[in-house]
Amino acid sequence: MRKLLTAFFLLICIAASSQNFLSWQFNDRYFSFSIGTGTSTYFGELNYNKSINDDLSQISAAIEARLLNRIGARIDASYFTLSGADRNAADSSFQRQRNLSFNSRNLHFQLHTIYYLKPYQGDYYKRWNFDPFLFSGVGYLKYNPTAELGGERYLLREARTEGVDYKKWVTTIPVGVGAKFKVNEFLNVNAEVSYHFTFTDYIDDVSNTYAMEFPNSTAELLSDRKDEVGVTNPEYYDQIQPGSPRGNPDNNDSFLQISIRAEIFLPPDLFSRKNKAIIKKPSAY
């Protein structure tokens, strides 16, 4: 939480200092730019306790447009890390005996539809001091699970630890809730919580059964790591072998993000060659 609060104040300073290039006229503004940071928590086979990560692990940037009285649209791009490890499981559990882990650096592009719980005030600088909203949409995630072995990091997709070739990109469905807090006429600070459903169970490289064949000996060691911890449970130790269950294919992986953003309202002529508003709205808007 302390790291998130520190990031909160840094974002305010960055956003405030970046306003010099903006026009200070009170003409209405339907577009805004935001930058943010926050935490990312993965949920899958390698998060035994379903614990929430509190480390800053993401950066994001977005462009938003206010379309209707309560509706907005946002294009969002983010870079973040996800990780999980069986070492956090109970000593006698199957997960601790399995002894797998992963770390993934991810690139995520999203398109959101935003629903505001309060109606538009008519002029952006007269907006609500507290403006809650809901959002959902669709995303496209590039993920790349890796693991460390002998002091080196290896790409788990290439190791084919379960004998499966899975894709580098996957579709996601984000759903979230947030609120905008007005700082001044031109600046908001936004807080958001979003949950992201994915259409894959291989974010962590763990889903089905242990592979029967491997491209090399390193891939075999990355697939079955029970001997690195010895025998913590004889029953589970004997069960872990080629062809035996390695994960649960019935549930796809997902992740949770808690974000804080600084949002700046853009002049309507910012993208216009002739310094004219790129869209015009009726005054009743």
pLDDT at 198: 98
Q: Residue 221 — φ and ψ, nearest 5°?
A: -65, -35
Dihedral (CA of 143, 147, 152, 158) sign: negative
The CA distances from residue 273 to 23, 146, 239, 268, 276, in Å, are: 15, 46, 68, 11, 8
Judge residue 250's burial from the number of C-beta atoms within 10 Å of its C-beta, 0-12 exposed, 13-18 middle, 19 or more buried.
exposed
Residues 6+ positions from 261 with CB-CB distance below 8 Å: 11, 34, 35, 36, 60, 62, 189, 190, 191, 192
Give the residue from 41, 105, 36 showing the smallest Cα distance to 76: 36
pLDDT at 13: 55
pLDDT at 185: 86
Q: Could you tell me how far CA 76 lies from the centroid of its own chain?
A: 11
Tens-binned pLDDT, residue by residue, of the chain (285 aa):
555 555 545 555 544 444 444 444 455 677 999 999 999 999 999 999 898 988 889 999 999 998 998 999 999 999 999 999 999 899 899 999 999 999 999 999 999 999 999 998 878 888 899 999 999 999 999 999 999 999 999 999 999 999 999 999 999 999 999 999 999 988 999 999 999 999 999 999 999 999 999 999 999 999 999 999 999 999 999 999 999 999 999 999 999 999 999 999 888 766 665 544 434 443 333
Burial 143-154 (b: 16+ CB within 10 A, else e): bbbbbeeeeeeb
pLDDT at 126: 84
pLDDT at 9: 53
pLDDT at 124: 81
Look at the block and give the residue holding tokens 């991810």.
106
User: CA 168, CA 162: separation in Å to the nearest integer?
Assistant: 16
